[in-house]
Structure 1
Amino acid sequence: MFNEVRNLINNTAVEESQIIETFNYLQNHQFVFRKRSKDRKHYAFISEHFDLFRSGFELFGKFLIQNNDYGYIGINSTSSDDFNRLTMIDTAILVTLRVIYHQEKESRSNEDGSISISGSHLVTQYKQYTERNDLVDSKSRFMEYLKLFKQKRILSLSSEVDEETLLPIITIFPTIEVIMTPEVALRLNQEIANRANSASSDDDTSQIKISSYTMEEEV
């Protein structure tokens, strides 16, 4: 990889700072989209030097992927460490988003593979799968819980809101399928079970159920 970087800098107009900036940008957001204005230059640069970035991320135990149909490039981990850093609530939200996407992508997906749902639909499905009320306390708390998934390009939040609940329209991106494969769901189920067994609250154990549900739907 280091020889590739040196050759690229010596033989082209590419600067080292551009490589570092793009590497850090993808590391921070996990996915970049071809048609998203903020991502466009990074998508083009990574696409042009795909092997270079693939080698770079492999050094950190991550693999680089490109989906030309839906126009995104992203990284994913080869281990479960990233999921281990998630809170139980974050994990439950992620699995709920994946279940919703799986159930509705065939009938209502957009050209870019995304689907749009109301915020209240996520709340309803989350409560159904987990028997928890974490997402209904307030709009500010709802937005805070989804902040990480917005940053990682798993979803976006519209400025359009439901007049009754004041919750935004959510667009779930096809990148959710990269993050939450059936194999990952199986591994997560075991991770959650292990963590729940060491905890004493019923809130933790209730989240085992949604991982099992996801695997039944997918496999």
Structure 2
Amino acid sequence: MREIVLDTETTGLDPHDGHRIVEIGAVELRNHMPTGRTYHQYINPQRDMPAEALAVHGITEEFLADKPVFSDIAQAFLDFVDDARLVIHNAAFDMKFLNAELKWTNKPVLPWERAIDTLDIARKRFPGAQNSLDALCRRFNVDNSAREKHGALLDSEILAEVYLELIGGRQPDFALSVVSTTQVLTGSAGDYTPPARPRPLGARLTEAEAEAHRAFVAGLKDGGLWPA
């Protein structure tokens, strides 16, 4: 199963107000494991960067001046995404911008049903709690110390870790069967070590069963694997 964990940075909140995408970052997962393949692109929005956008992203108009416009990178982006599911934090925001940009360049839009919204998953798991990406990093002990400014690729890499925690944790070398976006059947393998129980389980053997076992082991004598 192929998934793309994706994030965009924009000049504002609504493409219908003339705001544009300035950066796309994406990370590929296969069977919930990062493959190392990424997509990262800065984009010239062909409009002024508002002061609030500059403060959030730290991207200047001068930096974006020689970057390609969206129409120049649209096909490469679609080729990378292909038919994968799209894992996005607050998916409605990014999908709205991506589909607006794709429509303006006469490219096929991304179907909404392909989006997995990690914000929605987090709200269902932790109702009433803070579920921003930073808050989820703190909850799952995901290192986001490099996140001084919003950056699409860095945020995608962080979100990939958070997503794997939200759906049950990353289990190396084990085939995962997805039940839903909020529940995944997992098993342990590789170097995964389950945490210790807070209280050890008590013995369930009866005294008669324990005595029978001792008698059985004693009968093995020198050929046994266990001492009497």
Question: What is the TM-score normalised by the length of structure 2?
Answer: 0.24
Give 1 or 2 for the bigger CA radius of gyration: 2
The structure with the greater share of residues assigned to helix is 1
